[in-house]
Amino acid sequence: MKKVGVAILGLGVVGGGTYTILTTHREFYQQTQDLDISVENVLELRRERAVELGIDESKIASNIEEICSNPDVDIVIEVMGGVEPAKTFVLKALGAGKSVVTSNKELFCKYSHELENAAKHNHVGLFYEASCVGGVPVIRSLLDNLQGNEITSLVGIINGTTNYILTKMTNDGVTYAEALKEAQRLGYAEANPTADVDGYDAAYKLSILSSISFHKKIPFSCIHREGITGISPIDIQYGKRLGYVLKLLAIGKNTPKGVEVRVHPAFIRKNHPLASVSDSYNAVYITGDSVGDVMLYGRGAGAEPTGSAIVGDVIYCATHTRYRYSTFENTENAKPSTKFISNFGSVYYIRMNAEDKTGELAKVTAILSKCGISVAQVIQEESDASGNFKAPLVVITHMTREEAVNKAISAINENCDSTVVESVIRVVS
């Protein structure tokens, strides 16, 4: 039986989950994988956390050098998060001839080129399944199963926090602030929720997933990013009436004209497989030229689902002797030959408050038409009896372009004195 020693850097939620899985399943892996995986070292400043997990004091390393020089450590698991000191530690481990398994999306997104070069140079493995969508087997599927396809598009619900908040707003009709508070109470959102609600987390993951899918580096900086803090329950309700569900989507498209990569709230038809991905569940909907549509669904975060991905990588690393790296030139920035499309096409939902007077709708539709936007659906309602003198006007467009919509909105705000554009949400068909 092959002996495999691992070290865990960081005993936070994911590190603790990984430690627990490895220790409770040790015999199971001996029986089913012919591997004896032992945790030889941990690195954690809070000694009491290590003790709480039942880790022998002798295994708590004082610094990364101690782990790098421990001959019993074959694989270093980095689950600290953030760029530093994680980056320094990972580079040291690779330099010492240890393979690395990481769950660190920000680190891998920003420095995959540097880390992969170091791994290659030292003939060791670098695995990062856990960096994207927790327990959902998406990276391995792209690398080792769908790799015969030209991937034309991927659309994902890849942030659990925002999906929980939007599900809560949809089902209970509460505001963003109320749903966020509940998410924080349940531990689904951080005290400072920016990384999740402003779409950073989803954009890191989209950068990694679209780079692998499209075989070219898609840097974080090239991703159009909008969060969910401005979403109003009114729009979710109108969407429902029109047959749509609101989600924070990460969208990557590879077209002959260029690459589109964007993270933003979007309406999706309620019978689309992604529409029923609720609460903190995640899913990635991948389209390949041969396989057609594939969806991978599961828990995108949490100690055990993310731990499952890490342990999967550890076993993979221990049972595969040849390490593979990105199948494209992994650079810091996109290659100059990569074209990005910012004026992308979409269907749009536009909600306005309009004075309920003759000719107002005609004026608005004339502007849309002048901007080349044709209208697919309209809901115009009477001003309510409560004295609200403005009436909602909701328009769903046919497929149009981002620039045309921006132009139309400016024109409406300038030329229609009694109409205000309240919200614009893209619709994904």
Please identify, using beta-carbon distances, which residue of 31 and 69 lies nearer to its own copies: 31
Question: What are the φ/ψ torsions at residue 392 (nearest 5 degrees)?
Answer: -70, 140
Select from 49, 120, 140, 401 the one that contacts its own copies (CB under 8 A).
140
Is 297 an interacting residue with respect to its own copies (CB under 8 A)? yes
Q: Where are the beta strands (DSSP E) in 121-238?
A: 126-127, 151-157, 224-225
Radius of gyration, CA atoms only, the chain: 24
Question: Closest approach of Cβ 407 to its own copies, in Å?
Answer: 38
Site for its own copies contains 172 (CB under 8 A): no
Which lies closer to its own copies via its Cβ, residue 257 or residue 322?
322
Site string for its own copies, 234-273 (x = CB under 8 A): -------------------------------------x-x
Of residues 12, 81, 233, 312, which one binds its own copies by CB under 8 A?
312
8 Å CB contact between 205 and 156: yes
Reduced 3-state DSSP string for 355-409: ECCCCHHHHHHHHHHHCCCCEEEEEECCCCCCCCCEEEEEEEECCEEHHHHHHHH
299 binds its own copies (CB under 8 A): yes
Q: Where are the beta strands (DSSP E) in 199-333?
A: 224-225, 244-255, 258-269, 281-288, 292-299
The residue among 212 and 231 lying less far from its own copies, judged by its C-beta, is 212
CA separation for the pair 160, 266 (Å, rounded):
16
For position 311 contacting its own copies by CB under 8 A, the verdict is yes
Shortest CB 145 distance to its own copies, Å: 4
Cα–Cα nearest to 304, from 18, 6, 12: 18
The piece of 75-83, 313-321, 395-403, 411-419 that touches its own copies (CB under 8 A) is 313-321
Q: Which is nearer to its own copies, 293 or 381 (CB)?
A: 293
In order, the DSSP letters of 316-355 are: HHHH--S----SS---SS--TT--B-SS-EEEEEEEEEEE
CA–CA distance, 154 with 158 (Å, rounded to integer): 11
- Tell me if 424 sits within 8 A of 226, measured CB to CB: no
Compute the least distance from the CB of residue 225 to its own copies, in Å: 27
- Set 92, 205, 247, 253: catalytic member: 205
Q: Using CB under 8 A, pick the residue from 58, 192, 321, 358 that binds its own copies.
A: 321
Selected range binding its own copies among 7-15, 46-54, 169-177, 295-303, rule: CB under 8 A: 295-303
DSSP code, position 160: H
Q: Taking CB under 8 A as the rule, does residue 29 contact its own copies?
A: yes
Confirm whether 363 is a catalytic residue: no
Question: How many other C-beta atoms can be found within 10 angstroms of the C-beta atom of residue 226?
Answer: 16
Catalytic positions, please? 205
Q: Where on the chain is the footprint of its own copies (CB under 8 A)?
A: 17, 21, 25, 28-29, 31-34, 129, 135-137, 140-141, 144-150, 215, 271, 273, 276, 283, 288, 290-299, 302, 304-305, 307-309, 311-312, 314-316, 319-322, 324, 327-328
